[in-house]
A = this chain, B = another copy of it.
């Protein structure tokens, strides 16, 4: 985990070299949000999925950074005063606090674009078929039928009371779609068989949901100083969560079952899938 986190930072550092012109503040804001923080869960999933099929590591890392760009952009915009209005993220001031709101909007916008710039670059993969499939998958996962659609549902959740199926759908879009991309990317880069792809998709679906249940548990019962962000926000906003819908006890049991189920999807793989198995367990055991 530490190695991947370090490599992700190094690649962001290279991609976001500060220009000596009036765009400097934009790059500084992108660096503030992208470098040196976070669990790097999505990059780890990409790298672990790529490892499974012996994908060249520098190529896997570029895809890992592309998905992290999308994740970081969504955090910057989510933290804005008109959205969740958060002051703290990854233990640092949020971008609109450290810079200003206009710069935060643009830094998020630019990080989304950068994700597609990275994926379309031949350095990511020499085969244009592979690159265009990665772009298509990311656009689907990040767009209105994926992450952004989930964010919209999340806003609606503040004024409407969602039931369990609708809350599950919200989370599948909001966080599940990007997590799905991480595993799908391994499948695309590794030229994996349809059966292998199905296994990866099953794993992704289960850990995606387990991740969100764990997030809801953290939001309800976690420690802000460890999490590096404000907690207890869902209850405050009156949003339905897995914890409010199932209760803490059942939510915890459900998350554990999903992890077992995720690991079961990897049965056809041997020790080369050990990192993915460990990540599945980490997802529900983490304290931040």
Partner-B contacts on A (CB < 8 A): 21-23, 25-27, 30, 73-74, 77, 80, 82-83, 100-103, 105-106, 108-110, 112-114, 116-117, 119-121, 128-129, 131-132, 135-136, 138-140, 142-144, 148-149, 151-153, 155-157, 160, 162, 166, 169-170
Contacts and interface: CB of A to CB of B under 8 A. Distances in A.
A82 B101 contact: yes
How many copies of this chain?
Answer: 2
A149 B23 contact: yes
A26 B149 contact: yes
Contact of A144 (B30, B120, B131, B148): B30
Contacts of A116: 116, 135, 138-139
A67 B83 CA distance: 27
Contacts of A30: 144
A113 B147 CA distance: 10
Given A23-B152, A139-B120, A143-B110, A105 B82 contact: yes
Nearest to A26: B152
A77 B155 CA distance: 18
A77 B103 contact: no
A131 B110 CA distance: 21
Contacts of A113: 112, 139, 142-144, 148
A90 to B, nearest CB: 20
Contacts of A162: 22
Given A82-B101, A102-B155, A114-B143, 12 more contacts: A22-B152, A22-B162, A23-B144, A26-B152, A82-B105, A106-B152, A110-B143, A110-B144, A110-B148, A121-B136, A128-B131, A128-B132
6 contacts: A22-B156, A74-B109, A82-B105, A110-B149, A116-B116, A116-B139
